[in-house]
Amino acid sequence: MYWARRLMTLCVLRHVSSWSHEGGPNDVSQPARIAVIGGGIGGTAAAYFLQQHFGDDIILDLYEPHTVGGRLAVLPIAGHTYEIGGSIIHPGNRYMVEFAKKFGLPKKEECGGSRMGLFNGEEYVFRDSSWSLVNVVKLMWRYGWDAYRLRSENQDMLKKFNRIYDLQAAGQAFRNVSDLLHALDPSFLEMTHFSMGDWFRKLGFQDLIINELVTAVTKCNYGQTADLHAFVGAIAVAGADPDLWAVMGGNKRVPEELLKHSRATLLRREVKEIGLNEEGGFIVTSVEAETPDYYGERRSLNNNVDVTEETPRPQIYDLVVVAAPLTKDKSSIQFVNFTKEFSFPGHYQKIFCTMVQGKLHPESVKLAEGDSIDEILVTNAPLIFNSIGRQSPTDVKCSEQYPDVWKIFSGNSLGEGQLNILFEERESTHEIEWLAYPHYDSDQQLGDFELYPGLYHLNAIEWAGSAMEMSSIAAKNVALLALKHWLKDPTAGKMATVKDEL
């Protein structure tokens, strides 16, 4: 099968004579043929931005063998849906805010009264009060001036980070992640070479707040301690903002709308190979997506015929955007006929998301009977879970009644015995295993957006930080790079007008 696929690719490479110079790559008199590989928030945003910049003079295909939305996903439980992937959006995330507004996606109603606790395995070192002023006093009592400085440092970082929107509006694009970070502020690039703990100590923070509050949010948001690099750690701290929001019906509605408004053709196919041909264009070879049926047999997504052999299909493009991870644990895409070797080091962090409809056992988390809590974040302690949080449905108003559903993040699968200790009663249990985000180093190697002229890797941004807005920013960046390359104009994209498509 492998050699059959290679033979077909070679045949296409040899028979591109009909693709003449009059209609070949970078001939702007012809529509640009573009492939986007990956249908998550990054891929769908890339398709949307490409359509904005290139206009209607474009042939755009988006390859996604699974569900559109990728790591933005929901799960049905007891007649409602619940977020199991990317579940929170920061109010300063300009692209996500603009997408929701453009597509008429309302914000999910936030129900008040949520109580949070920092748990060290023996006791709660901090518990939320229903009074915000009391919380401020309690934080200052526990962490002193560091509590105020943490928020101040985070706000200062967000102010510097927001420069990206002005740079991109002016058409500026970056070929690698390091240049992008350095353009926002030189300290951002420096932060990727320090652990979160060491960076905060360098700024004068005490170990107490690092080991408790900072570690709790990094474990909840990235499944790792304060040993991850400081830039992504700061993104995790920003994820503790009190004004976080989500989309009614699930955040996956954003990529669904982005795809629809990009007018890209959705191909339910899995890309196996990306090749370079003699004319400077690209050959994307894919096979039809498969899914197991109820009996575990492999069947095509498009018909009821059993799939016994993958039939590769090559397709020629001028530009290719890979909007998916390329590390060995996440991808099997092969790059062929290039004059350089591509290397994608590192691996993704395995995380288990366990959704339980049931009643939490208070003694298992050191609570007295009748003592309620909605979210438990774990400090620097080796526990079987990273966080436990009571969930509200994506599609319900606060005045409505809904069952108790809890989301547990853990580094390992929770067995029946462990779940029976944590819960008095369980109506249903669902476990989702994610390779959710990169495993971050304290001295992080960063990658390139431009792998080869006309070939782009959007997910390189994830090694600086994995978040919905980071993917949207990378999507805008690669769309600008593609436009500049296609037009052979380094100023292209500057003063580009954004069309209101609604």
What is the model's pLDDT at position 113? 62
What whole-number distance in Å separates Cα of residue 432 and Cα of residue 355? 8
Q: What per-residue string of b and e applies to 163-193 under the rule 16 or more CB within 10 Å gives b?
A: ebeebbeebebbbebbebbeebbeebbebbb
| pLDDT lower than 70: segments of the chain | 1-29, 112-113, 242, 291-310, 495-502
What is the model's pLDDT at position 21? 32
What whole-number distance in Å separates Cα of residue 184 and Cα of residue 13? 41
Contact 46, 324 (CB under 8 A): no
What is the strand order of the sheet 58-63 is part of?
A: 265-267, 58-63, 32-37, 319-322, 455-457, 450-452
H helices of 90-240, where?
94-102, 132-143, 145-161, 163-169, 177-184, 186-191, 196-202, 207-209, 215-222, 230-238
What whole-number distance in Å separates Cα of residue 89 and Cα of residue 69? 15
pTM greater than 0.85 (yes/no): yes
Residue of 165, 170, 164, 154 lying closest to 230 (CA atoms): 154
Going 62 to 437 to 78 to 110, the CA torsion angle's sign is: negative
82 Cβ contact partners less than 8 Å away, ≥ 6 residues apart: 74, 75, 76, 355, 391, 393, 394, 405, 407
Query: Measured between alpha carbons, how far is residue 430 from residues 282, 352, 353, 357, 414 in Å?
Result: 41, 10, 8, 9, 11
What whole-number distance in Å separates Cα of residue 281 and Cα of residue 317? 6
Residue 173 has what DSSP assignment? -
118 Cβ contact partners less than 8 Å away, ≥ 6 residues apart: 124, 125, 126, 127, 212, 213, 216, 377, 378, 379
What whole-number distance in Å separates Cα of residue 476 and Cα of residue 171? 10
Residue 454, exposed/middle/buried by CB under 10 A (0-12, 13-18, 19+)?
Answer: buried
Length of the chain equals 502
- Rounded to the nearest integer, the mean pLDDT of the chain is 88
Contact 359, 101 (CB under 8 A): no
> Which residues make beta-bridge pairs with 306?
299
What is the model's pLDDT at position 375? 94
CATH class of 75-91+108-143+348-438: alpha beta
Q: What are phi and psi of 49, to 5 degrees?
A: -70, -35
- Strand, coil or helix: 352: strand
What whole-number distance in Å separates Cα of residue 471 and Cα of residue 449? 12
What is the model's pLDDT at position 26? 60
If phi > 0 it is left, if psi is from -120 to 50 it is alpha, else beta; for residue 281 that is: beta
| All structural domains of the chain with their residue ranges | 2-10+33-70+252-346+442-487, 75-91+108-143+348-438
* Assigned CATH topology for domain 2-10+33-70+252-346+442-487: FAD/NAD(P)-binding domain (3.50.50)
Residue of 45, 71, 73, 66 lying closest to 267 (CA atoms): 66
Contact 286, 313 (CB under 8 A): yes
Task: Tell me the pairing of strands 298-300 and 290-292.
Answer: antiparallel
Q: H or E segment at 253?
A: helix 253-262
pLDDT tens digits along 144-193: 999 999 999 999 999 999 999 999 999 999 999 999 999 999 999 999 99
pLDDT tens digits along 148-161: 999 999 999 999 99
Task: Tell me the pairing of strands 58-63 and 32-37.
Answer: parallel
HSE value, Cβ hemisphere, 13 Å, CA-based, for 324: 25
What whole-number distance in Å separates Cα of residue 273 and Cα of residue 6? 9
Residue of 25, 22, 21 lying closest to 34 (CA atoms): 25
Residue of 404, 405, 466, 474 lying closest to 72 (CA atoms): 466
Contact 423, 361 (CB under 8 A): yes
3-state secondary structure 409-427: EECCCCCHHHHHHHEEEEE
Contact 174, 182 (CB under 8 A): no
Q: Name all contacts of 334-340 with Cβ < 8 Å and 24+ positions apart.
A: 334/272, 334/273, 334/274, 335/273, 335/274, 335/275, 336/6, 336/9, 336/273, 336/274, 336/275, 336/276, 337/13, 337/275, 337/276, 337/277, 338/275, 338/276, 338/452, 339/276, 340/452
